[in-house]
Amino acid sequence: MINEKELFEPVKTEEIEAKEYIRPSIGYWADAWRRLKKNKLALIGLYIIIVLIALAIFGPMVSVYEYDATNLNNVYAPISGSHWFGTDELGRDVFTRVLYGARISLAVGFVASFINLIIGVLYGGISGFMGGKVDNVMMRFVDILYGVPILLIVILLMVVLGPGLTNIFIALGIGYWVGMARIVRGQTLSLKEQEFTLAAKTLGASRTRILVRHIIPNAIGPIIVTATLLIPNAIFFEAFLSFIGLGVSAPVASWGVLASDGVRSFQSHPNLLFFPALFISITMLSFNFLGDGLRDALDPRQRK
């Protein structure tokens, strides 16, 4: 007969006193930042954006030239130590005007993205959360706007409102939120059937509280990615509007205005077009790289 004591092995003292190693818990945003840092292109894009913002804020302040100061004795000066990007047809320093143009172009991108963020999130969230006839009516209106090219809507609004920086904000804010609304609606339709939403309803939370405190925060990943990718599109639209004469008015300079001015003398002085076009391209690439990196970093399915 087997002795019961032989079936058990006493635990050794070393095993009792062994330390317990537990991996520290990593929050959602800390994990997202960790994954974003592994994406080299996204990180490079982020650093370039930070540098561009710093140049736009402080560059014109430290420059020895004014962006609108003319000097007819120094027209079309070549690239030199005094004028890094040369001068234009009125003797204005192109480098200073490019830095000042960064203020206008980046401001258009960020402000337009913020306006579209507010309108799109509220519209899409309400449409998806209410459902039924309300959702059908609201989304049919979105489908109508989505069927018309956004650039055409913005151009028509600019023709009616007239050129100007404020009117650009209004035009982009009115006709540019459709994509954000559709994304937020899709997220809301999925999240409103989750257990935490049903629990909030059971506890008596109002519709507004459920939407603002529970649904929208859980959809913040796709919202941030979409808002980031909206910025380069808005910068491109502003550059195009200024290029065709519907953007900001002289002597205010944006990258689109500088590119439009550079086209007229491109054959003899290509630097006047090259540098604003270069900054537009770098900015759009940087935001696109950052947006792609954020899409991967904020995706909970890729969290480890």
Q: Per-residue confidence of the chain (304 residues) as pLDDT tens digits?
A: 556 566 666 656 555 555 555 556 666 677 778 888 888 888 999 999 999 999 888 887 777 888 777 777 888 888 888 878 888 888 888 888 888 888 888 888 888 888 888 888 899 888 888 888 888 998 888 888 877 777 787 788 778 877 777 888 888 877 778 888 888 888 888 888 888 888 888 888 888 888 888 888 888 888 888 888 888 888 888 888 877 777 777 677 888 888 888 888 878 888 888 888 899 889 989 988 988 888 877 766 555 5
76: left (phi over 0), alpha (psi -120 to 50) or beta: left
pLDDT of residue 49: 92
CA 96/CA 230 separation, integer angstroms: 27
Residue 284 CA from chain centroid, whole number: 10
Torsion angle in degrees (nearest 10) through CA of 163, 164, 170, 174: 30
Cβ–Cβ < 8 Å for 255, 98: yes
Taking the CA of residue 259 as centre, how many other CA atoms within 13 Å lie in the half-sphere pointing to its CB?
23
How do the domains of the chain map onto residue ranges? 103-302
Which tokens in the block code for residue 254? 């944006």
pLDDT of residue 1: 54
Q: Write down the pTM of the prediction.
A: 0.78
Q: 4-36 b/e with 16+ CB inside 10 Å = b?
A: eeeeeeeeeeeeeeeeeeeeeeeeeeebbeebb
Can you give the length of the chain in residues?
Answer: 304
Give the residue from 225, 234, 226, 230 showing the smallest Cα distance to 105: 234
Q: 166-190 b/e with 16+ CB inside 10 Å = b?
A: ebbbebbbbbbbbbbbbbbbebbbe
What is the helix, strand, coil percentage profile of the chain, to 5? 70, 0, 25
pLDDT of residue 48: 92
CATH code of the region 103-302: 1.10.3720.10
Secondary structure of residue 257 in the 3-state scheme? helix
Looking up tokens 């100061």, which residue turns up?
69
Radius of gyration from C-alpha coordinates of the chain: 27
pLDDT of residue 301: 57
Taking the CA of residue 192 as centre, how many other CA atoms within 13 Å lie in the half-sphere pointing to its CB?
20
